[in-house]
Amino acid sequence: LTGIFPRSDELIEATRAYEKKKIGKDELNEYFSKDTMRFLEFQTNLNLGCITDGLLEWQDIFRPFTEKVSGIKTGALTRWFNNNTFYRKPIITDKLVGDENILDGWIHTDLLRAAKKQWKIVLPGPYTFALMSENRYYKNRDEIVLDFARMLANELKYLEPFEPSCFDLCEPALVCYPPEKGELAAVKSAVDVITTATSLQSNLQTYFGDLSNIYPEILDFNVDSIGVDFYETQIELMDEYSFTKYLGCGCIDARNSSMERVGDLVSFAQHIFDRVGPDRVILSPNCDLEYLPMDAAEKKVEVLTEAMRILNGGEG
């Protein structure tokens, strides 16, 4: 799974109570921990290969950075791509300096380690951050992309002792508003800055858009795997070039309540296996599941794991 997972009704109610000052911060944190533990258990029970903490505290993918980095101010509510969901636009007012352990307190490293499973860090990608921010400091976007990447590299170094196994860079903008040719080198360098800073497996997660907008150039990025939204991308794209990375196959639609059928997923995955090779494919939702109510999101994950079980010869 990637990105932000939906909160339970109980947690939503708790955040409302907190905002109305009916409960305190400690009590609210208990609700967050409880929901996170429940989510970790849910993933563990389904035997997912790599788990996340669901980023339940993150009100949008940039939020730890807008709240904690001194060179970033919180800006206006702004639409998040083509969703009925809004984020606080980061306003860059000073040089981005990443020596603050920004994600301290934003990732449940203790609960993740206690789950004794492989776990994943989810981060906003530098290009999407630069594109979706307002720049009041840098001369050009390339500088933002690179400085933000350095900041992420520092964060990964800080988090590595907590023993994660991999990380996602969420980069919807790469496929929705692809960089122009002159910008591409800086974006690639930025990703390189991040991935060479750590020994963790890296995944460049694209979504909301068609991978063909940056294909085959994306194959040159220094990452181990690329996540593809197959509700926006035609499978035939995989025929055009040899797909040299691991493929995060976004085959569950996290923006649609219609429940996928296990048989359809199995059949689709087999088409992908034919093109990429079964050992190089990881089945996943096409984006964050937070666009669905929690019950629907969980059902979709169950369908996904059932498809995985069948594809693995019934072994989960």
Partner 1 sequence: LNPLFPTQEIGSLAKPSWLLKAFRAKVGDKELAEVEKWGNILRVDGLGELLELLRQKDLKERKKELRDWASLFGIRFLETAGLDIIYDGEMKRVEMYEYPIRRIRGFKFLGLVRAFDNKYYRKAACVDKVEFKEAYHTDEFKFVKSRANKKKIKVPITGPYTLADWSFNEYYQKEAKSERFRDRKMEAKGLLALDLAKEVIGPNIKALVAEGAEYIQIDEPAATTHPEEVKFFVDAFNEATKGIDCKLSVHICFSDYRHLYPHVLEMKKCSQFSWEFANRDDDRRSGYQDLSLFKEYGDDREIGLGVIDVHHDHIESPELVRDRILHAAKFLEEPRRLYINPDCGLRTRTWPVAFEKLKNMEKGALLARTEFE
Contact footprint for partner 1 (CB under 8 A): 6-7, 9, 12, 15-16, 18-19, 59-60, 76-79, 82-88, 210, 231-232, 234, 256-258, 290-296
CB of 291 to partner 1, least distance (A): 6
Which CB, 79 or 113, lies closer to partner 1?
79
CB of 293 to partner 1, least distance (A): 3
CB of 256 to partner 1, least distance (A): 6
CB of 116 to partner 1, least distance (A): 30
Q: Which amino acid is at 124?
A: P
Which CB, 12 or 197, lies closer to partner 1?
12
Instruction: Give the length of the chain.
Output: 316
Which CB, 129 or 231, lies closer to partner 1?
231
Which CB, 68 or 88, lies closer to partner 1?
88
C-alpha of 1 from chain center: 8
How far are the Cα atoms of 163, 192, 200, 220, 248 from residue 224, in angstroms, in the given order? 18, 11, 10, 11, 10
CB of 296 to partner 1, least distance (A): 6
Rounded Cα distance between 85 and 310, Å, is 35
Rounded Cα distance between 221 and 303, Å, is 31
Concatenate the DSSP letters of all residues of 142-203 into one string. Answer: HHHHHHHHHHHHHHHHHHGGG---EEEEE-HHHHHSPPPHHHHHHHHHHHHHHHTT--SEEE
Which CB, 29 or 83, lies closer to partner 1?
83
